[in-house]
Chain A
Amino acid sequence: MKKKKILNICVLTLAALLVAACIYPFEADIDQTVSSLVVDGDILIGGTTEVTISYVQPLNADKYAFVTNAPYGKAWVEDDQGGIYNSGALETSSFSINTASAPADRNYRLHVEDYNTGRTYVSSWKSVNPAPVLDSLTYDFDENFLYIYLNAHSDEGAKYFRWTYTDVWKYHADYQTIYEYDPFSDSLNELILPDLTTYYCWARGSASEIELCTTAELSTDEVRRHKFISIPRTSYKIQEKYKLTVSLRNISEDAYSYLENLKLTSNLTGSLFSPNPSEMIGNVVCEQDSTITAVGYIDVAQVATGKLTVDHTNIYQYVTPTRYDLFTVEYGMRSRYSAGYRPITKDSDGNILWGRKECLDCRVDGGTLVKPSDWDD
Chain B
Amino acid sequence: MRRKLIPLLFFALLPFVKAGAQEVVELKQVRTDSLVSFLRTACGQKVYYAGDESDRTLLTVKAPDDKFFETAISELSAKGYSISRYGDGWYVLPGRGLAVSLPIGYFSDGTRKEGGDDLLKFVEDRGEVANFRNKVYEIGDKTNRRTGGTGNVRGYVRNIADGEPLSGVAVIAQSTGAYSLTDAYGSYNISLPVGENTLVFSGYSMDDTVVKLLVYGDGELDIPMSEKVISLEGAVVSGDRVSQHIVTRMGVERISPNIVKTIPAAFGESDILRAMLALPGVATVGEAASGFNVRGGSSDQNLILFNDGVIYNPSHMFGILSTFNTDVVSTAELYKSSIPAEYGGRISSVLDIRTRTGNAKKIKGSLGLGLLTSKLELEGPIGSENTTFILGARTTYSNWILGLLPANSGYAGGRADFGDANFALTHKFGEKNTVQASAYLSADQFAFSGDTTFRYSNASATLKWRHTIDSKSEMTVSGGYDRYRNSMDEFENAYNAYTYSTVISQARAKAAFKTVLSDAHTLSYGADGVLYILNPGQKVPYSDDSFLVPVYLPVQRGLQSSLYASDEWKAGRTLSFEAGARLSSYAVLGDSTAFYLNPEVRLSGKYSPLPGLSFKAGFNTMTQYIHLISNSASISPMDSWQMCTSRIRPQTGYQAAAGAYWTLPDGKTDISAEVYTKRVWNCLDYKSGAVLTMNPNLADDLVETTMKAWRAELMVRKQVGKLTGWISYTYSRSMLRETLDRGIETINGGQWYNAPHDKPHDLKVVGNYKLTHRFSLSCNLDYSSGRPVTIPIGKYVYGGGYRLAYSARNGYRIPDYFRMDLALIVEPSHYLKKLTHLSMTLGCYNVTGRKNAYSIFYTTDGGTGVKGYMVSVFATQIPYVSLNMKF
Q: Say yes or no for A291: interface residue by CB 8 A criterion.
A: yes
Bound complex: CA A309 to CA B803 (Å): 30
Q: Say yes or no for B871: interface residue by CB 8 A criterion.
A: yes
Could you tell me if A34 and B805 are in contact, using CB atoms closer than 8 angstroms? yes
Per-residue A-contact encoding for B266-291, CB less than 8 Å = 1, 0 else:
11000000000000000000101100
Q: Say yes or no for B161: interface residue by CB 8 A criterion.
A: no
Q: Say yes or no for A196: interface residue by CB 8 A criterion.
A: no
Q: Say yes or no for B860: interface residue by CB 8 A criterion.
A: yes
Could you tell me if A56 and B794 are in contact, using CB atoms closer than 8 angstroms? yes
Q: Say yes or no for A107: interface residue by CB 8 A criterion.
A: no
Could you tell me if B797 and A15 are in contact, using CB atoms closer than 8 angstroms? no
Given contacts A225-B493, A291-B744, contact A273 B636 (CB under 8 A): yes
Could you tell me if A23 and B869 are in contact, using CB atoms closer than 8 angstroms? yes
Contacts of B804 in A (CB 8 A): 59, 265-266, 277
Per-residue A-contact encoding for B405-418, CB less than 8 Å = 1, 0 else:
10001110010100
Bound complex: CA A299 to CA B866 (Å): 26
Could you tell me if B632 and A273 are in contact, using CB atoms closer than 8 angstroms? yes
Given contacts A11-B448, A25-B869, A272-B319, contact A56 B875 (CB under 8 A): no
> What's the minimum C-beta distance from B181 to chain A, rounded to whole angstroms?
39
Could you tell me if A277 and B806 are in contact, using CB atoms closer than 8 angstroms? yes
Could you tell me if B632 and A210 are in contact, using CB atoms closer than 8 angstroms? no
Could you tell me if B796 and A295 are in contact, using CB atoms closer than 8 angstroms? yes
Identify the closest chain A residue to B877 (Cβ): A19
Contacts of B700 in A (CB 8 A): none
> What's the minimum C-beta distance from B189 to chain A, rounded to whole angstroms?
47
Could you tell me if B288 and A272 are in contact, using CB atoms closer than 8 angstroms? yes
Contacts of A260 in B (CB 8 A): 689
Could you tell me if B549 and A14 are in contact, using CB atoms closer than 8 angstroms? no
Q: Say yes or no for B878: interface residue by CB 8 A criterion.
A: yes
**Cross-chain contact of B872 among A22, A206, A217, A259 (Cβ < 8 A):** A22
Bound complex: CA A209 to CA B801 (Å): 6
Contacts of B801 in A (CB 8 A): 207-210, 266
Contacts of B634 in A (CB 8 A): 272-273
Bound complex: CA A61 to CA B692 (Å): 34
Could you tell me if A278 and B790 are in contact, using CB atoms closer than 8 angstroms? yes
Q: Say yes or no for A55: interface residue by CB 8 A criterion.
A: yes
Identify the closest chain A residue to B849 (Cβ): A19
Given contacts A18-B401, A54-B796, A268-B859, contact A28 B791 (CB under 8 A): yes
Contacts of A27 in B (CB 8 A): 868
Bound complex: CA A244 to CA B634 (Å): 41
Bound complex: CA A137 to CA B686 (Å): 38
Q: Say yes or no for A328: interface residue by CB 8 A criterion.
A: no
Q: Say yes or no for B799: interface residue by CB 8 A criterion.
A: yes
Give residues of chain B (320-370) contacting chain A, Cβ–Cβ below 8 Å. 320
B-contacting 9-mer, from A1-9, A183-191, A333-341: A1-9
> What's the minimum C-beta distance from B751 to chain A, rounded to whole angstroms?
14
**Cross-chain contact of A36 among B318, B805, B869 (Cβ < 8 A):** B805
Contacts of A280 in B (CB 8 A): 688-689
Could you tell me if B548 and A7 are in contact, using CB atoms closer than 8 angstroms? no
Interface size on A, residues (CB 8 A): 84
Could you tell me if A2 and B806 are in contact, using CB atoms closer than 8 angstroms? no
Bound complex: CA A266 to CA B792 (Å): 9
Bound complex: CA A218 to CA B551 (Å): 10
Bound complex: CA A363 to CA B236 (Å): 70
Contacts of A274 in B (CB 8 A): 632-633, 855, 857
Q: Say yes or no for A305: interface residue by CB 8 A criterion.
A: no
Could you tell me if B549 and A266 are in contact, using CB atoms closer than 8 angstroms? no
Could you tell me if A266 and B860 are in contact, using CB atoms closer than 8 angstroms? yes
Contacts of A57 in B (CB 8 A): 794-796
Given contacts A21-B875, A217-B539, contact A266 B548 (CB under 8 A): no
Given contacts A14-B398, A33-B793, contact A276 B860 (CB under 8 A): no
Q: Say yes or no for A66: interface residue by CB 8 A criterion.
A: yes
Give residues of chain A (234-274) contacting chain B, Cβ–Cβ below 8 Å. 257-262, 265-274
A-contacting 9-mer, from B93-101, B385-393, B704-712, B808-816: B808-816
Could you tell me if A272 and B744 are in contact, using CB atoms closer than 8 angstroms? no
Could you tell me if B548 and A219 are in contact, using CB atoms closer than 8 angstroms? yes
Could you tell me if A207 and B800 are in contact, using CB atoms closer than 8 angstroms? yes
Bound complex: CA A258 to CA B398 (Å): 40
Given contacts A16-B873, A28-B856, A40-B799, contact A272 B633 (CB under 8 A): yes
> What's the minimum C-beta distance from B749 to chain A, rounded to whole angstroms?
9
**Cross-chain contact of B869 among A19, A38, A270 (Cβ < 8 A):** A270
Could you tell me if B868 and A13 are in contact, using CB atoms closer than 8 angstroms? no
Contacts of B411 in A (CB 8 A): 7, 11
> What's the minimum C-beta distance from A205 to chain B, rounded to whole angstroms?
10
Q: Say yes or no for B867: interface residue by CB 8 A criterion.
A: yes
Q: Say yes or no for B547: interface residue by CB 8 A criterion.
A: yes
Contacts of B689 in A (CB 8 A): 257-258, 260-261, 278, 280
Contacts of A23 in B (CB 8 A): 869-872
Bound complex: CA A293 to CA B548 (Å): 37
Chain A residues packing against B (C-beta within 8 Å): 1-2, 4-5, 7-9, 11-19, 21-28, 30, 32-36, 38, 40, 52, 54-59, 61, 66, 164, 206-210, 217-220, 222, 224-227, 257-262, 265-281, 290-291, 293, 295-296
Cβ-closest 8 pairs across A and B: A208-B801, A208-B863, A270-B857, A273-B636, A26-B870, A261-B689, A268-B857, A56-B794
Sample of 9 A–B contacts (CB below 8 Å): A30-B793, A210-B798, A217-B551, A224-B547, A265-B806, A266-B803, A266-B804, A272-B633, A278-B688
Q: Using A57-B796, A224-B495 as known contacts, list a sample of 6 further A-B pairs with CB atoms less than 8 Å apart, ordered by residue number in A.
A: A7-B411, A24-B851, A272-B286, A276-B631, A276-B789, A295-B796
